[in-house]
Amino acid sequence: MAYKNIKEIFEYNQVWIEEQLKNDPDYFFKLSKRQTPKYLFIGCSDSRVSTEALMYAKPGDVFIHRNIANVIPSNDLNVLSVVNYAVNHIKVKHIVVCGHYGCGGVKTAITATDAGILNPWMGYIRDVYRLHKKELNAIKSLEKRTDRLVELNVLEQCINLVKTRDVQQALLEKRIEIHGWVFDMRTGKLIDLEFNTKKVAKEVLDIYNIVK
């Protein structure tokens, strides 16, 4: 929606309140009680990756963290705190890393260029490029190569989750699953990349295991 001004947002807020109350007079009373979402969604900040819309979810259904190109750096206190809180306090059952085709962050990262203050963040995505350079450089079309890097970035960020203590502990206790998804905004479709948590954990935990 193209809002005319900031004031209009507050008018639409009132419209939304009235719509909810018309369907259920106790809507906000119920909403304010407690959150028990089963899903943590880590996605891109892109304004078109509207988590609730694409999951057909309602307030209270999904705990959400979004940043540029859905990255989970092992030293980023922001995302690590979200994962910690979601896994240990809210006790979500699923963590979803969701990328999207045509991601501006990935597009910038795939080009060796000075991105200014974004350089360190781009570096995380460029690391994924380096890990999969052979496969990616074999793809001639830049658009297709970018889309493949979007997918590989999601899968690598799923592995980054496995590197964290909180997720390792939850995996050991068999109370969490990790999923890698891509949102294709050209069709609206959500695509499951079928990240195999068990298999990957087996492959990488001899290096990353920190839970006794």
Residues forming contacts to Co ion in the complex (CB under 5 A) are 44, 46, 103, 105
Shortest distance, position 70 Cβ to Co ion, whole Å: 7
Q: Which is nearer to Co ion, 66 or 132 (CB)?
A: 66
Q: Which is nearer to Co ion, 40 or 44 (CB)?
A: 44
Cα 5 to Cα 14, 35, 86: the distances in Å are 15, 32, 35
Shortest distance, position 150 Cβ to Co ion, whole Å: 8
Q: Checking DSSP bridges between strand 189-192 and strand 177-184, what pairing results, if any?
A: antiparallel
The C-alpha atoms of residue 66 and residue 97 are separated, in whole angstroms, by 10
Q: Which is nearer to Co ion, 158 or 170 (CB)?
A: 158
Shortest distance, position 169 Cβ to Co ion, whole Å: 30
Q: ∠ at Cα 122 (203, 80), nearest 5°? A: 55
By C-alpha distance, which of 148, 152, 158 is closest to 178?
A: 158
Q: Which is nearer to Co ion, 46 or 156 (CB)?
A: 46
End-to-end CA distance of the chain: 51
Shortest distance, position 72 Cβ to Co ion, whole Å: 14
β-partners of residue 40 are 63, 95
What are the catalytic residues?
44, 46, 48, 100, 103
